Amino acid sequence: MKVQLENVKPMDIEKRSFEIITEELGDKKLVPGTELVVKRCIHTSADFDYADNLCFSPEVIEKAMAAIKDGACIVTDTQMAKSGINKRALARYGGEVYCFMSDKDVAEMAKKNGTTRATASMDKAAALNKKLIFAIGNAPTALVRLYELIQEGKLDPELIIGVPVGFVNVVQSKELIMESGAPYIVARGRKGGSNIAACICNALLYMIDNRRD
């Protein structure tokens, strides 16, 4: 087989990729205003299921961009998601990214309470007393704990990105978040991941940058 490479300059690869995604989406209906988030998830995964499974609470994109511009910080449930978020773009608005999963006090709290470290790290985040966006790409137990904290009046998040991936309690934990009353972006079903969590954060950051409003 002779392999033929397409001649696209490094700086044009992302643009060309988004053109292909737009082309292949055809006349697929997306929620107005959410297109760039949906397309970036497809760009990150090459999986067009995200055109169907992403669910958005009312006006969540505008609310999320306003929160970021107001200095909101992002909490992740994996170092991988933290690593994938454009921290320089976030820092321009005063925000930073936290992941407490490897913290010693979180490990101790989890052990003491018989929970996952993800649960314990949500408790640690809730105690921060900051404007927070949660980007959860791995642990359904993190979403369950966020739901409980909201119900208990201990947390009022700016946004929950609920995109854990997997087979045990993943589907259910996302449904819980959609009933929590918090603004959400959720990938309904089993799919998601730390890469998807990070890319949704980046999509929001790049939407703010392009608008320059």
Chain positions contacting a copy of itself, by CB under 8 A: 1, 3-6, 8, 10, 13, 16-17, 20-21, 43-47, 78-80, 82-84, 115-116, 141, 144, 165-170, 172-173, 175-176, 179, 189-195, 198
Query: Within 10 Å of residue 98's Cβ, how many Cβ atoms?
Result: 18
Let me know: does 137 contact 162? Beta carbons within 8 Å.
Answer: no
Cα–Cα distance measured from residue 20 to residue 85, given in angstroms and rounded to the nearest whole number: 24
Would you call 72 helix, strand, or coil by DSSP?
A: coil
Rounded to the nearest 5°, which phi and psi values hold at 208?
A: -65, -45
Residue 65 or 170 having the CB closest to a copy of itself:
170
Shortest reach from residue 137's CB to a copy of itself, in Å: 9
Residue 34 or 169 having the CB closest to a copy of itself:
169
Residue 20 or 91 having the CB closest to a copy of itself:
20
Q: Active-site residue 114, yes or no? A: no
Burial call 75-91: b when 16+ CB within 10 Å, e when fewer: bbbbebbbebbbeebbe
Bridge-based pairing state of the strands 73-76 and 97-99 = parallel
Shortest reach from residue 163's CB to a copy of itself, in Å: 11
Shortest reach from residue 94's CB to a copy of itself, in Å: 23
Shortest reach from residue 129's CB to a copy of itself, in Å: 28
Residue 69 or 188 having the CB closest to a copy of itself:
188
Shortest reach from residue 28's CB to a copy of itself, in Å: 16
Residue 72 or 144 having the CB closest to a copy of itself:
144
Q: Which of 17, 30, 31, 43 is catalytic?
A: 43
Residues catalogued as catalytic: 43
